[in-house]
């Protein structure tokens, strides 16, 4: 909960700071044009990559394989498109990194390792070790 609240406050603050800094360097009108261009071009490329991921998933299904990577990649592309639509430069940079296949694969690999590591540690904490003695055998 604290992380979500921190992100809700930090992301707009970072975006406003970047708007001011970049706006003073290139001008307000150029900043607005740049925001619209990154959104339009980024979403178009995300759509292109989404169709490539869909084709890859369908070919995996034709081979009777479960397209797990394609499903995760498609969800990541949808998140990247949302980040690109949101006005701002920091969200655009993260969205662009998620759209490109190489960096998207790195992000997915990093977060899946953390997910399995956290899941494994939680499973280990729930394990109770002990000894027992069957009372019915003694009677």
Helix/strand/coil (H, E, C) string of the chain? CHHHHHHHHHHHHHHHHHHHHHHHHHCHHHHHHHHHHHHHHHHHHHHHHHHHHHHHHHHHHHCCCCCHHHHHHHHHHHHHHHHHHCCCHHHHHHHHHHHCHHHHHHHHHHHHHHHHHHHHHHHHHCCCCCCCCCCCCCC
pLDDT value of residue 4: 87
pLDDT value of residue 74: 92
The pTM assigned to this predicted structure is 0.74
- Using 70 as the pLDDT threshold, list the residues of the chain that sit under it: 1, 114-128, 137-139
pLDDT value of residue 124: 58
């Amino acid at each position: 909960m604290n992380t979500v609240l921190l992100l809700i406050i930090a992301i707009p603050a970072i975006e406003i700071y970047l708007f001011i800094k970049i706006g003073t360097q290139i001008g307000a009108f150029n900043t607005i044009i740049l925001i619209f261009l990154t959104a339009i071009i980024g979403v178009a490329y995300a759509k292109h990559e989404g169709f490539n991921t869909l084709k890859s998933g369908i070919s995996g299904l034709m081979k009777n394989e479960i397209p797990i990577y394609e499903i995760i990649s498609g969800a990541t592309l949808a998140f990247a498109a949302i980040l690109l639509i949101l006005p701002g430069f920091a969200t655009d940079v993260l969205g662009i990194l998620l759209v490109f296949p190489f960096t998207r694969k790195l992000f997915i690999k990093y977060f899946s390792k953390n997910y399995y590591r956290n899941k494994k540690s939680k499973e280990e904490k729930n394990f109770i070790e002990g000894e027992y003695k069957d009372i019915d055998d003694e009677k």
